[in-house]
Amino acid sequence: MNRRNGSRPTRRGFLVTAARGGAGLLVFRSFPSRTLAAAIPASERIQVAQIGCGRMGRGDMEGVMKHPLARVVAVCDLDSTRLAAGRTLAEEFYRKQGETAVSVRAFRDHRELLAQKDVDAVVVSTPDHWHALVAVEAAIAGKHLYVQKPVTYDVAEAIALRKVVHAKGVVLQTGSQQRSEEPWSSFRVASELVRNGRVGRLKTIRIGLGIDAPSGKRPAPMEVPPNLDFERWLGAAPEQPYMEGRVHPQESLTGRPGWITTEEFGLGMITNWGAHHVDVAQWAMGQELGGPLAVEARADFMTDDLWTVHRSYHVEMDYPGGVRVILDDGFEVGLKFEGDDGWIFCTRDGDAVLRASDPKLLAPLGAGATRWPPSRNHYLNWLESVRDHVDPVAPIDHSVRSLEACYAAWGAMKLKRPLRWDAARERFSDDAAADAMLRRKPRRSEFDVTEVMRKAGLGGPGPR
């Protein structure tokens, strides 16, 4: 992995210099004991803040806290109920480790949190339409980042975030956990085998993402609950009335939120699970810094329903080297790599998460093979990357490209015609109508990442 340049000095110089001083890497694979946690002095722990305390945020916070290299010191959410629950989750975790005086700060406004000088890094687990603004402002503030996938809502935001991350020299890990061994090692194994030619000449990758179903409810405005700052929650999205089914459940911290199935906030399975599986496909092809050449797609979008994303879908993308990537709602969820010498399939759940046309195709790789960067645990890989100031296993340069491929597929769904993608320029080829979809105009300038960058002296995302 490449060591980053331009890092900002902090009061914990350990975060940058430990590896240079010969410190070994401590790998913790389960919740630490009190003795193990005490092995890392408090002054040398990475001070982390959790932004977004809902379903994914709680999981992310637990994933970070179990590693003694981190200390969660603050939480942030626009829903005061979720904010209080997030604070309680963190404080109770540390009390169970034997601590008696535990205090985790709570913020409704992420900008106040980012002003805290002792916060080294933030985890961004907000709805998709908030990823970019929070992450860009955090990077400008010099905070390292763990950002849930898809890394941003649209392509322009992704390019902007990449520019800021490099300009500020911060470490960003995308929540593409399928790149790490825990908990789904099958994707690493399969993609590494394919990258090394185990199926012969790769011809086709078939991807199943699952499918969203309509809610069966008509859209109907509701009264905003007093615990939610809905006006700010809308962020860059178009003005609209509050509907609980399009935000998150008020009676559950872990129920699936409706913003995932509402296009103003998330684009549906094509960027939701697509960000996972297309990422692995591009990794296997050697296209983690590239993208498709052409995209064709068809999809049915939900109408006259509370939710608005696509339902059924069929997407075909042509990649360099003659590889065709096909996504279809009828495929088994996972990736099937097909080549001249057979196929390899990987998925998350079931009795056979990794299988092949011939078991010999799954034999371990030998010496001299191309190997993925080691990453036992996705959160630990991020924390160690922050400490050592190196690129993590799912860096911003790769996650931008994964988002672009998924977004191109969504564009072809919406326009109902074939599109050509120019990966070098990160835009469609001679197609003004398609290019206009790469950036959504924010509701107000305060939610515009381009304006935030301009005020920080970084200009806009910039052309390729």
Q: Kindly report, residue by residue over 154-171, the tens digit of the pLDDT.
A: 999 999 999 999 999 999
Per-10-residue mean pLDDT of the chain, 464 residues long, equals 41 32 29 52 93 98 98 98 98 95 97 98 98 98 98 98 98 98 97 98 98 98 98 98 98 97 98 98 98 98 98 98 98 98 97 97 97 98 98 98 98 98 97 97 96 92 59
Q: Kindly report, residue by residue over 165-198, the tens digit of the pLDDT.
A: 999 999 999 999 999 999 999 999 999 999 999 9
Cα R_g (the chain), whole angstroms: 22
SS3 assignment, position 260? helix
Strand partners, 339: 202, 342
Q: Is 98 left (phi over 0), alpha (psi -120 to 50) or beta?
A: left
- Main-chain dihedrals φ then ψ at residue 308, nearest 5 degrees: -135, 0
Specify the DSSP element, H or E, that contains 194: helix 185-195
Cis check: omega of the bond before 241, within 30 degrees of 0: no
Specify the DSSP element, H or E, that contains 144: strand 144-147
Domain ranges for the chain, please list them: 14-179
Specify the DSSP element, H or E, that contains 383: helix 378-388
Q: Do residues 418 and 296 make contact, with C-beta atoms less than 8 angstroms apart? A: yes
CA–CA dist 382, 144 (Å, integer): 9
CA–CA dist 271, 399 (Å, integer): 11
E strand residue ranges, 284-429 = 294-301, 310-319, 323-328, 334-339, 342-346, 354-356, 419-422, 427-428
- Homologous superfamily (CATH) of 14-179 is NAD(P)-binding Rossmann-like Domain (3.40.50.720)
Angle made by CA atoms 316, 268, 123, in degrees to the nearest 5: 115
CA–CA dist 219, 222 (Å, integer): 10
Q: Which pTM was predicted?
A: 0.92
E strand residue ranges, 329-389 = 334-339, 342-346, 354-356
E strand residue ranges, 201-283 = 202-208
- The pLDDT of residue 121: 98
- The pLDDT of residue 27: 30
Q: Output the CA torsion 434→435→441→445 (10° steps).
A: 180
